[in-house]
Amino acid sequence: MSRFLLFLFLLVPYTFFAQNLILNPGFEQNRGCPEKPGQINLANHWFSPNIGTPDYFHTCSPGLDYGTEFNKKGGRLPHSGMGYAGLQFYCMNRNEYYEYMENLLDTALAPGALYCIQVFVSLAKANYAFKELGAVASVNEIKTSSSKKMILPYTPLKNGQYLDDQNGWIQICGFFKAKGNERFITLGDFQKGDEFWNIDLRSTTDSVFKSSYYFIDDVLLVKINDSTECKCNPGTR
């Protein structure tokens, strides 16, 4: 190997070579094309853990509502590939509705090992943004008959800024130590407080109705040796 090639090899992030444990991370593989709300189950290996109805968007959609570049939530070109998912969050007079997505991992997590999770998000047609989302690793499938926010110990996924980009994609990330044998990852909002932030007023607000919606794409979960290997790209696409 030449010195130049060796230099390039050393520059490539560790996560580039690590196995992604998320099945269907870019929502490409499906058992059908979306044409109505709440069809996340059409994306292979993804499902909802509560009675919320996460959306699925793909270029194969027969109409504009659940396509990608143009759709009923404002539209976005996928970060990569041909599909992505969508999560709705809202609070109206303390009545909550929070959507989540869950994935059965390729293999169980190793006890005591460090893992990095990276996700690309884009704020859809909405007036409120969050500063972070979250991920929960669990041994068993999370399942509830409620649509309220799930308050669980979680790994914060963030990038040091409000997730308010409505043109491109923001990469958010976080790392955690596995207890062992976790087979599921759930994405959503698990914070205890009221985290809605008005992007027009550039502040929090006591509005009766607060709603946010995020497109989700290219989910990565990899084993790492050190927390410094888990980094987010500060830019957007």
* Mean pLDDT taken over the chain: 92
**Residues of the chain above pLDDT 70, percent:** 91
pLDDT of amino acid 9: 43
Report whether pLDDT(97) > 80.
yes
Would you call 107 exposed, middle or buried from its count of C-beta atoms within 10 A (0-12, 13-18, 19+)? exposed
Give alpha helix (H) positions in 62-215.
none
pLDDT in tens, 24-79: 999 999 999 999 999 999 999 999 999 999 999 999 999 999 999 999 999 999 99
- Number of other CB atoms surrounding residue 124 within 10 Å: 21
20-229 is classed CATH 3.30.428.10: no
- Is the CA virtual torsion 159, 10, 117, 65 positive or negative? positive
This prediction's pTM = 0.91
Closest by alpha carbon to 88, among 132, 47, 36, 125?
Answer: 125
